[in-house]
Amino acid sequence: MCRLLGITNYSYEKNQELLVNFINLAKVGRVPEGSGPGHLDGWGIGYYKQGRAVIEKSGLSILDEKDKVIDILKNIGETGILIFHLRKSAWEGTTDIKNAHPFCYKNVIFSHNGTIRDYQKLLEQINPNDAPAQDAKDTEVFFRYIMRNYTDDLNCSFHKAVETIKKENIYTAINCIFSEGSKMYVYREYTKEPDYYTLFETKQDKSIIVCSENISNKLTWQTIEKDSLQAYSL
């Protein structure tokens, strides 16, 4: 239960207003039916520097660390792909940095919105060399499940994993934004609450922007369809 933002050809100077609006979703963003307000259970930023994935994240509320986050975004300056995540935990007692998104493995950055209730079934199918810690929650397990067959075709690895999850697992949504550095992948799939488990895309100059919500009325946003995987090249 989170908010997602992905930007290709990121520039702090160009994207600054969108970033501030996204941070504000931690307080005013949509929440699932019956859930309390706020996406305050951690935040994270993933990007690439000279081809290497870099992750900055925290288990604290972004509203308490806004200045720190703005400094990070400003210091990044420009990068080909930036993935930004605000967490609303579905699991009691897991508000900490190790459960904050994005996650990184084999230079792939991954963030997710939704809950896979029976994620332990996936953990049992992951080779020990690719497995996360035994106390990892659904998103990290989902990610490592994708990566268990990854060589150089992330699109194929993702499709294989998702087709199994759709058939065999119980989930609210498996919306995600991820990258291996040359493309930004975006996937939307849900089983309930389509007005919450949303993803929208738009363009701003040379950037493709994907977000859980419309964060600028100055831009024209299009809904990403259900069970749709998009790949945006730089």
Under 8 Å between Cβ of 119 and 141: yes
Greater confidence, 1 or 225?
A: 225
152-165: average pLDDT:
94
Residue 5 makes CB contacts below 8 A (sequence gap 6+) with 18, 19, 22, 83, 84, 85, 177, 209, 210, 211, 212, 215
Report yes or no on 139 lying in a domain.
no
What domain count does the chain have?
1
Domain that holds residue 182: 2-115+150-233
In-domain check, residue 205: yes
What is the model's pLDDT at position 94? 87
pTM summary value: 0.97
Reported confidence tier of residue 149, pLDDT bands at 50, 70, 90: confident
pLDDT at 156: 94
pLDDT tens per residue across span 160-192: 999 999 999 999 999 999 999 999 999 999 999
Can you give the CATH number for the domain in which 111 is found? Answer: 3.60.20.10
Average pLDDT, the chain: 96
Q: Could you give the CA distance from residue 198 to residue 113 in angstroms, rounded to a whole number?
A: 9
pLDDT cut 90: percent of the chain above it: 93
